[in-house]
Structure 1
Amino acid sequence: MNNQPGSERNLKYIMNRLFSLGLKREEVPAGSPGSFQHEAWIRKILKEKASKRADLKTRLEDILFIILDTETTGFRPEHGDQIFSIAAAKIKNFKVVDQFSQLINPCVKIPEEISILTGIFEEDVKNAPTLDEKSEAFLRFLSGGMIIGYHISHDLAFINHFLWKRYRSSLKQPALELALITERLVGSETFETLDSAASYFNIECRNRHTAEGDVLIMAELWRSLLRLCKEKGIETLEDLYVTMK
């Protein structure tokens, strides 16, 4: 039974909800409200954050891209599959400016075939924090940029499933699919896997099928694609969206 006073539980829930929507701790003023009677204040803050996102005319080198990858126990979060590793890297103007990596205790069994593929076994995560315990840290890291990844819908499905169950919310920023961008920019091949895209650009695949390793491979791929964008005269976010159609 939770013996935490009701008002304190309510305030903690509200703060976690705000953080899950991308609000940073320093943006929450002292004496924040302890109930949702101040929804107008919440909407105002979140609207201000949304207004800072890149618009279509923003040059690609000025956009903060956040490469994201997860390792999961299966493919169906709605059936109980869970994240057991998460990693991300921030890239701006061709440079990796920050990184995040964390093993997660999924609180469910990691299938043997998944452990063999990733090299991560149950003993590696049994003392790791749960996703709930690390949610504020990784949501802070993901906020304020445009998410990008290979088969990113898989990663977003797991994160948003968690956020909906825990906070009745979801990630708000836009996301780009690296596989699609690669195929549109190259124009002559399909790239069903990250390995195939990396091979095309002569990128070495180290620590493949680990979240941290795959993020670094994707970072190299994204830099290669940004250079290709320059060669093709694709300068803004709008140019990139047109290319992806």
Structure 2
Amino acid sequence: MQKRTLADSVVVLDFETTGLSPQYGDRAIEIGAVLVEEGRIVDRFQKLMNPGFRISSFIEAYTGITNEMLKGEACCEEVMAQFSEFIAGHNIVAHNASFDKRFLDFELKRANRSYEGVCCCSLLVSRRIYQDSPNHKLQTLVSHAGVPTIGSFHRALADAEMTAHLWLAMIDRIRKQYGIPTVFFDQLSELSRVDKLYAHRYLTSLAD
């Protein structure tokens, strides 16, 4: 039986990419991640990567990453081979995780690497925890939850750090509001799939 892992001991990651889908030829151009152990950021990983073609002016403006910046960087496969070592043995959190996981799986496969962890979406969890937030974009939630703004939005490491602080803020809220001293990763994974109308009932049941 697999050992339960703590919700506050994870790798939080974010990709910047050339577009929305690797199925249609889009590639990663930046990976940023933080390693969180028992509620503290203890390590960071950030790399630009050259996708092998010019990126659009829209992506340059959106991310602040330019073709000039990518020119001398390592290819995606080389960076992702390094990143596979960073995430080894850890569960993963990302904001809008279905997007990031698509690129993670695609780029790891191209690098002949894999990972064993489970991925949880902080956006889905936030819809259950912060039901009064105007929306659940990272930038909105950072303000709504009182999370510190770090760096620039739409740069991978800054987004990963802010997502990590948001994730920890949600865990802290669960602990205080529901009197649950220890929150496990699988509990938040399950919460992300619970209808938000029943989120309070689910969290209350964890305290029993």
Normalised to the residue count of structure 1, the TM-score between the two structures is 0.70
Paired position in structure 2 for 1:223: 168
Q: Structure 2: how far apart are the matches of 1:189 and 1:101? A: 30
Cα distance, 1:161 vs structure 2: 1.6
State yes or no: 1:197 paired with 2:141: yes
> Quick check: which has more Rg, 1 or 2?
1
State yes or no: 1:209 paired with 2:154: yes
Alignment match of 2:179 (pick from 233, 242, 245): 233
Paired position in structure 2 for 1:41: none
Q: Aligned partner of 1:96: which letter? A: I
Point out where structure 2 has 5 or more consecutive residues left out of the alignment.
195-208
Q: Tell me the alpha carbon deviations over residues 10-52 of structure 1, each in whole angstroms, 9 at most, x when there is no partner.
A: xxxxxxxxxxxxxxxxxxxxxxxxxxxxxxxxxxxxxxxxx7x
SS at 1:128's partner residue?
A: coil
- Aligned-pair identity in percent equals 25
Q: Structure 1: how far apart are the matches of 2:156 and 2:6? A: 28
Q: Is the 8 A contact 1:152 1:177 kept in 2?
A: yes
Cα distance, 1:192 vs structure 2: 3.2
Q: Is the 8 A contact 1:88 1:215 kept in 2?
A: yes
Alignment of 1:1-245 (within 5 A): 54-55=3-4, 58-61=5-8, 64-167=9-112, 170-189=114-133, 191-205=135-149, 206-231=151-176, 232-234=178-180, 235-237=182-184, 238-244=186-192, 245=194
SS at 1:60's partner residue?
A: coil
Cα distance, 1:54 vs structure 2: 4.2
Q: Structure 1: how far apart are the matches of 2:108 and 2:190? A: 31
Q: Is the 8 A contact 1:201 1:224 kept in 2?
A: yes
Point out where structure 1 has 5 or more consecutive residues left out of the alignment.
1-50
Normalised to the residue count of structure 2, the TM-score between the two structures is 0.82
Q: Number of residue pairs matched?
A: 189
Q: Tell me the alpha carbon deviations over residues 139-173 of structure 1, each in whole angstroms, 9 at most, x when there is no partner.
A: 00011111001011111101212233453x64331
Q: Aligned partner of 2:165: which letter? A: E
